[in-house]
Amino acid sequence: MQIISNINEIRKIVKKWQKNDETIGLVPTMGALHLGHESLVKKAKTQSSKVIVSIFVNPIQFAPNEDFEKYPRTLEKDSIICQDNNVDVIFAPNANEMYADKNNLTIIVPPKNYQNKLCGLSRNGHFDGVATVVAKLFNIIHPDKAFFGQKDAQQLAIIKKMVLDLNMPVEIVSCPIIRDENGLALSSRNSYLSAEQKIKALSLNKVLQKIKEMYEKNETNHEKVLKRASILLDEAFDMEYLEAYDANTLEKIEKLRNNTLIAIAAKIGNVRLIDNIIL
């Protein structure tokens, strides 16, 4: 396995693979890899002959008051995980390599109606930064497929929309949320939680499972269902949102139905967690 930090070098490797008719799978990450990321890599290995994992803590998707500086950076540990999962190349550029002229940067701005809800309301400019870095990775690596986790459901919908609208020749593969043995959705930010907070954090999934349970009993009034389920959130958490949208278009829905995204965000201390299910 190689670790490459230079754009020209990764392009040379990809061109060589393409000449040999290799199919290329890309797993974009910000590092601090866990079992959720491993699941993406394993899916990529089943669908691609070569797999690249990008590790880059993207500065332009963090607001000034967010955790960019303290976001975990564990390249050595991440490299071991990638090697154990037979990754071919880690692409780990620094910010100067990705943004040579960061003060005059062309930014991709996803549609407002994909951004003006859920995480987009509290993280101004976040999805501009996500779309821009993902577009850059696609242009640098030219993958046949790219693998993203369903946990970041709004991000996933935005990337699919970008690929469709800009005619990018890459297939976006959605991969299911991976949870620990107690049901907590795996996240790099879980490392910020104390043992007690991790137990309290299980209540996010309890809220979602209650909604699923009521829906399966034919309760489709989403306001009623969300209100009843929200009381299961541990009182240590401050609810940011608990909302229902079409999973593909992020449009508001009148009643719960098939392919409804139920998304939750809540904060405990300085740690913000998200989770979701699709009915």
Looking at the annotation, which residues are catalytic?
A: 37
Q: Which spans in the chain are helix H?
A: 7-19, 35-47, 75-84, 95-98, 112-115, 119-122, 126-141, 153-165, 195-216, 222-230
Percent composition of the chain: helix, strand, coil (DSSP 3-state, to 5): 45, 20, 35
The C-alpha atoms of residue 203 and residue 238 are separated, in whole angstroms, by: 12
Q: Which of 119, 73, 124, 123 minimizes the C-alpha distance to 274?
A: 119
The C-alpha atoms of residue 42 and residue 259 are separated, in whole angstroms, by: 25
Q: Which of 108, 100, 4 minimizes the C-alpha distance to 52?
A: 4
Angle at 175 between CA 11 and CA 220, to 5 degrees: 145
Sign of the alpha-carbon dihedral angle for 158, 26, 152, 125:
negative
The C-alpha atoms of residue 31 and residue 264 are separated, in whole angstroms, by: 23
